[in-house]
Amino acid sequence: MDLHLDISSPDGRRAGLERALRDAVRGGRLAPGARLPATRRLAEEVGVSRGTVKAAYDQLIAEGYLTARQGSGTVVALLPATQDRPSESRTRTRAPRFDLRPGSPDVGAFPADTWLKAVRRAVATAPVSAYDYGDPLGRIELRTALSEYLGRARGVVAPPERILVTSGAVQGLALLTRVLEGGTVAMEDPGLPFHREVVRHGGGRVVPVPVDELGARPDDLPAADAVVVTPAHQYPTGVTLHPSRRRALTDWARARGALVVEDDYDGEFRYDRQPVGALQGMAPGQVVYLGTASKTLGPALRLGWMVLPPQLVGPLADAKLHSDHSTESIGQLALAELIRSHAYDRHVRTCRLRYRRRRDLLMERLGARWRVRGIAAGLHALVEVGDEEAVLARADAEGLAVGSLGEHWHAAGSRQGLVVGYGTPREGAYPQALEVLARVLELGQPQAPSLGLPSGPLRF
């Protein structure tokens, strides 16, 4: 191992070596269990005799900083937590026993073997250019594969030259905000708070557009440069944007020279019929389509994509270039291989069946006593409750993590509820998590009031 040590000391080189090693252990630069270089090797590297290194090692072994194991050399000892070396456990928040928070898939279902095979095939056939700096738009192999997949599976008009590969959908939203140069962005109310912060962080001004049982309300759209919507499965209410609203949104964009940003975060997962096609197919010149592999494969891959109107390709590619230059290539090539071989389709179908079973189990346990919304698609449902804060407090006491509707409003909202994610738990833990959720709900009112979804905006 390479080891950076400054052994300069007025007390001599042995004392300097001891101090340098001691400080490295105390400061955490040498982790517990790390194996130190052999005495001969370290002596050559720092320019002292082997006897000086051995004496320094012996001194630190005596002090308890190092240990010597037969056949394993000299390693860093496990020290108790001190004020100058904080214990890792003190920085961690308590993990919930049961996690029903929305936003993530079942990462335990990641197709590791299939992905590894795709990586191997991709690396075996990759051109030398794949290991150089990449095109800001992304690898042409992935853009070509996405063009075919998005067209047939999501109804998106997606020529490869209008696709930009991003490091996740959030980066796509951030890049678009930058290109809008601090413009006004209308965002659904209720909607994902983090996405609002992404827009604000990029210099954009956020204004709300209310949501009702038909989705975002185009008649209430304020003057804006763009509107961000989740048509297939609105987050967090779970409603699907009505066809008349789709037409009204694209008409609004054409009339104002504005953009509709379609966040298709979980559009592949529909349980009562075929997945609803993307809004982008109705108006490719007015709609920016955001897609991601985070819900179908896993967030850790950091792979997303934008399908852009022609006039935005150049500006977004330039913004990507000056953000992180390009998304890493090997993951792009592996995903392209998955799509071309239809292994991606097979995985999505498998996940769709798994999540439908989870959705059905949720309805079987809760649907008879509580009003559950947004169950036709996606990886979460909205359970209406009368006193959100009280329910959340009981859930926390039971070690249950669950989302709340209250945090999704732009301002205080009158409707209260739990946003229950059924993608996150591992298969074996999910039934017990539902039992805990049911018990938490039963500890309060026997049944939440029937608030319904009014025909007007969901305002307080």
238 lies in a domain? yes
Residue 456's pLDDT band (cuts 50, 70, 90): very low
In a shared domain, residues 296 and 219:
yes
8 lies in a domain? no
Total domains in the fold of the chain: 3
In a shared domain, residues 181 and 206:
yes
Is residue 83 pLDDT above 80, yes or no? Answer: no
Neighbours of 100 (CB within 10 A): 27
In a shared domain, residues 315 and 194:
yes
In a shared domain, residues 184 and 315:
yes
120 lies in a domain? yes
In a shared domain, residues 33 and 130:
no
For position 43, which CATH number holds? 1.10.10.10
In a shared domain, residues 205 and 222:
yes
Residue 281 has a pLDDT of 95
Taking only the tens place, the pLDDT of each residue in 425-436 is 888 889 999 999
C-alpha to C-alpha distance for 281 and 268, rounded to whole angstroms: 15
> Are the C-beta atoms of 413 and 459 separated by less than 8 Å?
yes
In a shared domain, residues 226 and 362:
no
Residue 94 has a pLDDT of 66
In a shared domain, residues 155 and 63:
no
Is residue 114 pLDDT above 90, yes or no? Answer: yes
> Are the C-beta atoms of 277 and 155 separated by less than 8 Å?
yes
Residue 276 has a pLDDT of 84
What one-character DSSP code corresponds to residue 308?
-
Whole-Å CA distances, 337 to 131, 152, 290, 291: 17, 17, 21, 18
* 344, 375, 390 - which closes a domain: 344
In a shared domain, residues 188 and 331:
yes
423 lies in a domain? yes
Is residue 449 pLDDT above 50, yes or no? Answer: no
For position 195, which CATH number holds? 3.40.640.10
455 lies in a domain? no
For position 359, which CATH number holds? 3.90.1150.10
Residue 81 has a pLDDT of 52
Single pTM value for the model: 0.82
C-alpha to C-alpha distance for 361 and 26, rounded to whole angstroms: 51
Beta bridge partners of 209: 188
387 lies in a domain? yes
Phi and psi at residue 418, in whole multiples of 5°? -105, 130
Residue 9 has a pLDDT of 83
Residue ranges making up the domain that contains 433: 98-105+346-442
Residue 413's pLDDT band (cuts 50, 70, 90): low
In a shared domain, residues 115 and 252:
yes
